[in-house]
A and B are shown apart, each in its own frame.
Chain A
Amino acid sequence: MARVELESVSKSFADTTVLSGINLDIADGEFLTLVGPSGCGKSTLIRIIAGLEPQTSGQIRINGEPVDHLRPHERRVAMVFQSYALYPHMSVFANMALPLTMQRLSLWERVPLLRLFSARRRRVMPEIRREVQSVAAQLQIEPLLNRRPAQLSGGQRQRVALGRAMVRHPNAFLMDEPLSNLDAKLRVHMRSELTELHQRLKTTFIYVTHDQVEAMTMSDRVAMMDAGRILQLGTPAELYARPSNLKVAQFIGSPAINVLPVRIGDGGMVELPGSPAMIHTSLPPGSAASIGLRPEALHLLPSGSPRDGAVLNARLRRIENLGAECMLHFDLLALPGHGVIVRAASIKGLSVGEEVVLGYDIASIHLFDAKGERAEVLPISAHPAQREAATP
């Protein structure tokens, strides 16, 4: 159980900066996910927390104590590797027992042959065996204890790796993409198992993934990283509802948010493409910007309904039927070369090539400036068209 704090942690390899000024305060028992595109520094950060890699500058504290000078095992953190890193020459039992034997037995009590003469070893080993067995029982891998890792399936190896981390009752679990070697179905299953495990153990979890679904479904908080920085830190709901950056908006959510380019007109008016409606912003006039619309924010307007609100004229290009819902891919008539995806409950009798009008609520617009930073959409617009659209 531990609070893990990172204070302006930076890391450079030779002259390339991989992490710059990372601040994080992870509460005791929290499930924090580091998510971001490949190469953004997630693994480097978690390895720095583990003590496998020294940071170039900054400080790491566990329970308020700086741990920068401590080696990984002294930080009492456990790490689950993407490759599981099980010792191939040891049985599952020996794999899981290793952290304990290292902790409780001296070198002489561990060396092959010599250890046969140790009376203390004979006393300690049954204890260790009991502890390993109780963890194995929790993970339902008791029958596997005598096997070698090569004789296990991917999911079983995953559990053994978890078990090896659990036997030590660590301050925190560090996991670097632990599910990415599993097939899709097993990944979904392990996701919920990990969540349950976290709820049961109530230990701090720091979890690295590049899969936004994992980040959204498992975490208390998500830190979205890009190019060595944390773009946004918040609950999954916050990241989804109020992405602070275009990259966050694009990364979180599936299918990805629809992004359309807009221009800022005089007085901060944003001209919405192909639509008489307008929104108002404090961004400087003349600058380029973009708006993001979640697939579920768009809906098909029934023909004949008024078209003076926030609308997009579009032609249906492709239908992706997922059973419970379907994804409708549209080409925009007003913005050649751009398309949007709409999440709909059913196909609604549409056929490919049909032209339709898509409507959306102005409140659902995410506005981003030219650099991708979130900009506020000001609520009241002076524009007559806007007012008209806003009145029911």
Chain B
Amino acid sequence: MSAFRLRQARIERWTGLGFVTPAMLLFMLTSLIPLAVLLGLSFTNYELGAVDTKSVGTANFAKAVADPVFRRSLGNTLLYVAIVLPGAVGLALLIAILVHGRRRSRGFYEVIYFLPVTSTLIAMATVWQFLLHPRLGPVNAFLRLLGFDEVAFLSEPHLALPTLAVVGIWQLLGFNMVLFLAGLSAISKDLYEAAEVDGCVSGLDRFLTITWPLLMPTTMFVMVTTSITAFKIFDTVAVMTRGGPMGSSEVLLYNVYLEGFQYFHMGYAAALTVIFLVFILMFSAIQSFVLERRTHY
């Protein structure tokens, strides 16, 4: 009997492994191996096309910590996240609540706000560049009409990053709104009616008593995905400012791109990417940790 059990267990183990293998292989090929190569490269002085490459230990990381360009780009990226995160989450929540209250026009608004998500950001960045152009752009034409001076949104050092953040918010808004709408639809109508009978009359009371707490899991998820997306900012910078003016919009991935593909410092770029991945890993860890705890009602 026990021999039979043992055989059964062995068969099950092999079948299980058989089922896992394809996914495992794919995961190795697309994620684990590239990651290992990246990690390996980050400890070398490899340059694209170079013949002799040798290990430099942690020199690349030491260099990054001391590199003013890297430090600035990390700071800029975090500042960008700090603007985009509350903007894209708060606004999306507000719009979702407003759109959720509509009956017939709901579909219309959903489409309108979702359009930026479906468009290519590179193409849209060009459009934004035109819109914000100091002399040709309609935004400045409007400002002039109101009697203001024209604003060089993308060439003023202290304005470039916030402007990019506005574009980032615009791009993320629709997606976050749809997530919030899904969250709102999942809240039972009975709860609002019960709350009304119990004396939750004002919109603010309803929001604080029902909507906000029950939307918490959605909000956490939206916040984490927004942070990750914002942290990965690259295309708008590449198209609209190229890190300028005076490095005021240099961000992490743009820096990696410059080091790797413009200056061919592959080893250094790999080290920067590893640092970047550590941040992303942190966001993901927060996500799984917090979400696991908050979603169990």
Q: Assess whether B210 is in contact with A99, with CB atoms less than 8 Å apart.
A: no
Q: Which segment of A78-86, A182-190, A383-391 sits at the interface?
A: A78-86
A45, B209: Cα distance in complex, Å: 27
Q: Assess whether A85 is in contact with B199, with CB atoms less than 8 Å apart.
A: no
Within 8 Å of chain A (Cβ to Cβ): is B194?
yes
Q: Which segment of A33-41, A102-110, A294-302 sits at the interface?
A: A102-110
Within 8 Å of chain B (Cβ to Cβ): is A210?
no
Q: Assess whether B190 is in contact with A83, with CB atoms less than 8 Å apart.
A: yes
Q: Contact flags (1/0) for A134-152 with B, using CB distance below 8 Å?
A: 0000000000000011100
Contacts of A99 in B (CB 8 A): 198-199
Within 8 Å of chain A (Cβ to Cβ): is B197?
yes
A99, B190: Cα distance in complex, Å: 16
Within 8 Å of chain B (Cβ to Cβ): is A98?
yes
Q: Assess whether A148 is in contact with B205, with CB atoms less than 8 Å apart.
A: no
Within 8 Å of chain B (Cβ to Cβ): is A73?
yes
Instruction: Specify the main secondary structure of chain B where it touches its partner.
Output: helix
Q: Assess whether B198 is in contact with A89, with CB atoms less than 8 Å apart.
A: no
Closest to B198 in A: A99
Contacts of A73 in B (CB 8 A): 196-199, 201
> Interface centre among B199, B202, B213, by most A CB within 10 Å?
B199
Contacts of A112 in B (CB 8 A): 208
- Distance between A192 CB and nearest chain B CB, rounded to angstroms: 25
Q: Assess whether B197 is in contact with A79, with CB atoms less than 8 Å apart.
A: yes
A162, B293: Cα distance in complex, Å: 30
Which single member of B190, B199, B210 contacts A103 (CB below 8 Å)? B199
Q: Contact flags (1/0) for B137-148 with A, using CB distance below 8 Å?
A: 000000000000
Known: A50-B197, A73-B196, A103-B199. A111 touches B208 (CB 8 A): yes
Within 8 Å of chain B (Cβ to Cβ): is A77?
yes
Within 8 Å of chain A (Cβ to Cβ): is B214?
yes
A112, B205: Cα distance in complex, Å: 12
Q: Assess whether B205 is in contact with A85, with CB atoms less than 8 Å apart.
A: no
Q: Contact flags (1/0) for A89-119 with B, using CB distance below 8 Å?
A: 1100000001100110001001110000000
Contacts of B194 in A (CB 8 A): 79, 81, 85-87, 164
A87, B199: Cα distance in complex, Å: 14
A149, B191: Cα distance in complex, Å: 13
Contacts of A111 in B (CB 8 A): 208
Known: A87-B209, A102-B205, A110-B208. A81 touches B193 (CB 8 A): yes
- Distance between B31 CB and nearest chain A CB, rounded to angstroms: 36
Q: Contact flags (1/0) for B202-235 with A, using CB distance below 8 Å?
A: 1011001110011010000000000000000000
Within 8 Å of chain A (Cβ to Cβ): is B262?
no
Contacts of B201 in A (CB 8 A): 71, 73
A38, B88: Cα distance in complex, Å: 45
Within 8 Å of chain B (Cβ to Cβ): is A237?
no
A317, B255: Cα distance in complex, Å: 88
Within 8 Å of chain A (Cβ to Cβ): is B179?
no
A386, B213: Cα distance in complex, Å: 74
Closest to B191 in A: A85
Closest to A148 in B: B297
Q: For chain B, residues 28 to 84, give those with C-beta under 8 angstroms from any C-beta of chain A.
A: none
A78, B193: Cα distance in complex, Å: 11
Within 8 Å of chain B (Cβ to Cβ): is A335?
no
Closest to A102 in B: B199
Q: How many A residues touch B, CB cutoff 8 Å? A: 28
Q: Assess whether A150 is in contact with B199, with CB atoms less than 8 Å apart.
A: no
Which single member of B196, B200, B204, B214 contacts A89 (CB below 8 Å)? B214
A83, B187: Cα distance in complex, Å: 13
Within 8 Å of chain A (Cβ to Cβ): is B8?
no
Within 8 Å of chain B (Cβ to Cβ): is A72?
yes
Contacts of A107 in B (CB 8 A): 202, 204-205
Q: Assess whether B205 is in contact with A87, with CB atoms less than 8 Å apart.
A: no
Contacts of A89 in B (CB 8 A): 213-214, 216, 297
Q: Assess whether A102 is in contact with B190, with CB atoms less than 8 Å apart.
A: no
Q: Assess whether B188 is in contact with A83, with CB atoms less than 8 Å apart.
A: yes
Contacts of A110 in B (CB 8 A): 205, 208
Q: For chain A, residues 56 to 88, give those with C-beta under 8 angstroms from any C-beta of chain B.
A: 71-73, 77-79, 81, 83, 85-88
Closest to B193 in A: A52
- Distance between A134 CB and nearest chain B CB, rounded to angstroms: 18
A103, B198: Cα distance in complex, Å: 8
Q: For chain B, residues 80 to 96, give those with C-beta under 8 angstroms from any C-beta of chain A.
A: none
Q: For chain A, residues 125 to 178, give those with C-beta under 8 angstroms from any C-beta of chain B.
A: 148-150, 164
Q: Assess whether A88 is in contact with B297, with CB atoms less than 8 Å apart.
A: yes
Q: Assess whether A72 is in contact with B197, with CB atoms less than 8 Å apart.
A: yes
A88, B204: Cα distance in complex, Å: 19
Known: A85-B191, A110-B208, A111-B208. A102 touches B297 (CB 8 A): no
- Distance between B186 CB and nearest chain A CB, rounded to angstroms: 11
Closest to B200 in A: A102
Contacts of B210 in A (CB 8 A): 87
Contacts of A72 in B (CB 8 A): 193, 196-197
- Distance between A38 CB and nearest chain B CB, rounded to angstroms: 18
> Interface centre among B196, B202, B210, B214, by most A CB within 10 Å?
B196
Contacts of B297 in A (CB 8 A): 88-89, 148-150
A89, B213: Cα distance in complex, Å: 7
Contacts of A78 in B (CB 8 A): 197
A65, B74: Cα distance in complex, Å: 68
Closest to B187 in A: A88
Contacts of A164 in B (CB 8 A): 194, 198
Contacts of B216 in A (CB 8 A): 89
Can you list 6 pairs linking A and B with CB atoms under 8 Å apart?
A81-B190, A85-B188, A85-B191, A85-B194, A87-B191, A87-B210
Binding site for B on A (CB under 8 A): 50, 52, 71-73, 77-79, 81, 83, 85-90, 98-99, 102-103, 107, 110-112, 148-150, 164
Binding site for A on B (CB under 8 A): 188, 190-191, 193-202, 204-205, 208-210, 213-214, 216, 296-297
List 8 A-B pairs, minimum CB-CB distance, nearest first. A102-B199, A85-B194, A85-B190, A73-B199, A88-B297, A99-B198, A89-B213, A72-B197
New A-B pairs, 8, CB < 8 Å, besides A71-B201, A73-B198, A102-B200: A71-B196, A72-B193, A78-B197, A87-B194, A87-B195, A98-B199, A102-B205, A103-B199
